[in-house]
Chains A and B, each alone.
Chain A
Amino acid sequence: MGVSRMRNPLAGVPMPILDDLIEDEYVRSLAVGIAGMVGLLAAVGLAFPASVAGDLAGIVFSTSTAASTARLAAPIVLAGLGGIFAEKSGVINIGLEGLLIISAFASVYVASVVGIGNAVLGVPAIWIGFLAGIAASTVLSAVFGVVCIEFKADQIIAGLAVWLIALGLAPFMSTVFFGGVNTPNLGARVSWRYSAVMVVVATLASWWALNRTAFGKHLRAAGENPKALDTVGVSVSRVRYAGVMVSGVLSGVGGSALALSIGQFVGSGETMVQGKGFIAIVAYLFGNYNPLGTLGAGVLFAGLDATQIRLQQLGYAVPDTLVQTIPYVVVIVVLALVGRTRIPAAAGDHYETEE
């Protein structure tokens, strides 16, 4: 990629990334989002008796909620970060859900094949599984990249296909290997603290890569003004492949973390991923392509989900389903108030290199 060779190759190229405007809009969207969220939570709290509100407060600030928030946030935030890389480069990756599913299954499968308690080259089985999950997701994202970049497929439809293929393939393979759509439990798991650390590290690293490196600059140029990038001699296709593959790697970390934090892959219905890949898309749009904003949105959604699960365990049947609905309503309200987030100008378009 010539990171060191090229010092600021696009210095003279006007790029319509209006930092001020985006920061402003971004701050606004998050502020409105959080205000709406808190307001709705308060409304729910007021609508129900004090005992429920007390329970709610207790739940929100408990360690077990923090643990399950970290567990649930990992796939959302990591896939969301991956989605930023892909979309910034000009490839809308709506198949994040599929990448999460395939990595969740592959991680558990490989960990069980190696056998818990065994190690390969000194690496424990569960971490071998983790790497395998990342590899599976990266391979699938590479296929998606070839289909979109080489064969000029419609990105939305190809992304949908990635989701559908993974949605079929993971339970299919699980049935072939384990005789059922759900794998047996490994009997070992990755602590939620690792998930939390990975999420924070990945967020900071993504922010740095996007904003402080030549690679990040190339990514943005490939998505905003591919011709300019081409003019300075950088291959647009290669930058886009890199963006898509990074989304595969990050989603792989998220999917593996999700499955291995439980020690099992659940493949019934929408699988254990349950739409987290789509929520990830919402999270990064909500964060306006900013990794830190994505982290905030992801943790917010995961926190609500975790709170809801705890409420369920305490036997509040009605509020859960409605509490679960809050993030979706808030997203709609925020989108309606703030309007569309500004997607990269060339996202979704094919780029033909001009000889």
Chain B
Amino acid sequence: MSRRGGGRVPAVVRRLLAPFVDRTVAERVVISLAAILLSVAVGFVIVLVSGRIATCTTAAWTMPVVGLGFCYDPVQVYVVLFNGALGYPFAVGDPGLLDPAWTPFNISLGLTLSETTLLIFTGLSVAVAFRAGLFNIGTQGQLVVGALATALTVLALAPLLPGGAGGGVVLVGVGTLAGAVGGGFWGAIPGALKAYADANEVITTIMLNFVAANVAYVLVLEVFRAEGSSVVATRYVPEYAQFVPWLFPSSSDFALLALLVAAGFIAGLYYLVEHTTFGYDLRTGGTQAAAAEYGGVNAKRTTVRAMTVSGALGGVGGSVWVLMSEGRWLESVPALGFDGITVSILAGNSPLGVLPAAFLFGLLKGGALEIGFQTDVPTELVGVLRGLIILFVAMPEFFRMAGRYAGLGSRGPGPEPDDVGGADTDGGEPDA
């Protein structure tokens, strides 16, 4: 298993390194921030260059000194992106800066936090698998299955239960559980295939994404389609069985309660991964498969369990998508599962890191809408930024080199425990 490989780093070195683990965490945070800044800088250049190519009547921005005119104003783009995603708390140009009329409970921030909430679940889903040395690209499919399971369960149970708050609580609870079971089942398949048939999980999860999307589509189209609906969608679940949008306007599709639940999941998962036997098995299986096996960890069972937990988290993400955002299952499921991969990577696969990472990508999503409203710059810019962030996060060595070059602390090229899930050792093939 070259992906998980045996230890290149001797145990003694690891033990010596242990006290410095905090340094690697700090280093990772620095690298993530540097990656974001570098992407912003590259995005700046892209906006400038494309603004030079695009045609417009008046220049939106003129380069100082040189006097060249550009169609897009890169400074404005970023101001709109981050300010707009929060609902414009900063009055640009005003001496007071903070706009007194601003309230946190606005639509834009609601949309941003709604996206953040959903990305927390999918980010956690990917992170758990990553920690076990498994690359779960299938969170998208697990989310689709979980969402459908939630919608159908709630729709089926609603007539049997009393309406109102009491019935609503039960329906939301059971619906979310159904999502977890559906997603967990869909995640357990590639887990079992990996454990017992040695089928590469990257391939099987990609395939299962397509299968989930197609099968769910056909099921809803043929069996569960709402009458008179112009799109392929189920009926709406009852209003009382949806997350209630406290404080925020209901058009923002955001419920504070869901974000709190998501935060609870982060805490729970952090505990599970870092402080339980299962978490220990998971982590050792991810970094040192052979050693873990030798130490009595049942690697196959851990693989299946990790993928089941990962899938269940994706499924809960689907539940929240149905019960908070849409109110029904809809054919055009947003690519939350794929975005979860980027969230997890930026978070260094740490459950705690998922919160800021999900918020950043939530900001980008909310900001993209504002860019569309307020500027001429195509909103696809945000997609480019996302890709750049991931590219730069993937190359820590670049920042270490840059740091050494700039003389900023000599972070030696010592063996860094690299559990970003990828191949990190050149260990042999124990199973060959």
Chain A residues in the interface with B (C-beta under 8 A): 16, 94, 147, 151-158, 160-169, 171-173, 175-177, 181, 275, 278, 281-282, 285, 317-318, 321-322, 324-325, 328-329, 331-332, 335-337, 339-341, 343, 345-349
Contacts and interface: CB of A to CB of B under 8 A. Distances in A.
B162 interface: no
A326 to B, nearest CB: 10
Contacts of A332: 193, 199, 204, 207-208, 211
Most chain B CB atoms below 10 A, which of A155, A157, A171, A325? A157
A319 to B, nearest CB: 10
Q: Describe B's contact surface by its main secondary structure.
A: helix
Interface stretch (B97-105, B271-279, B300-308, B376-384): B376-384
Contacts, number: 170
Interface stretch (B117-125, B285-293, B390-398): B390-398
Most chain B CB atoms below 10 A, which of A176, A285, A339, A346? A176
Interface stretch (B20-28, B175-183, B215-223): B215-223
Contact of A321 (B217, B423, B428): B217
9 closest A-B pairs by beta carbon, nearest first, are: A168-B383, A348-B423, A164-B387, A165-B387, A154-B422, A161-B391, A175-B378, A168-B384, A172-B380
Contacts of A349: 2, 423, 425-426
Given A172-B383, A332-B204, A151 B397 contact: yes
Nearest to B390: A161
25 contacts: A153-B397, A155-B422, A157-B422, A160-B342, A161-B387, A161-B394, A168-B380, A168-B381, A168-B387, A172-B50, A172-B380, A175-B378, A175-B380, A275-B210, A282-B207, A285-B200, A317-B221, A318-B222, A321-B221, A325-B211, A328-B214, A331-B203, A339-B199, A347-B423, A349-B423
Contacts of A158: 391, 394-395
B329 interface: no
B214 A157 contact: no
A139 to B, nearest CB: 14
Contacts of B432: 16
A331 B193 CA distance: 12
B239 interface: no
Interface string B7-46: 0000000000000000000000000000000000000001
Contact of A176 (B54, B135, B397): B54
Given A164-B387, A328-B211, A345-B429, 17 more contacts: A154-B422, A155-B422, A156-B202, A161-B388, A163-B387, A164-B383, A282-B206, A318-B222, A321-B221, A324-B214, A332-B211, A335-B199, A335-B200, A337-B197, A340-B200, A343-B2, A345-B428
A177 B387 contact: no
A161 B401 CA distance: 21
B420 interface: yes
B165 interface: no
B80 interface: no
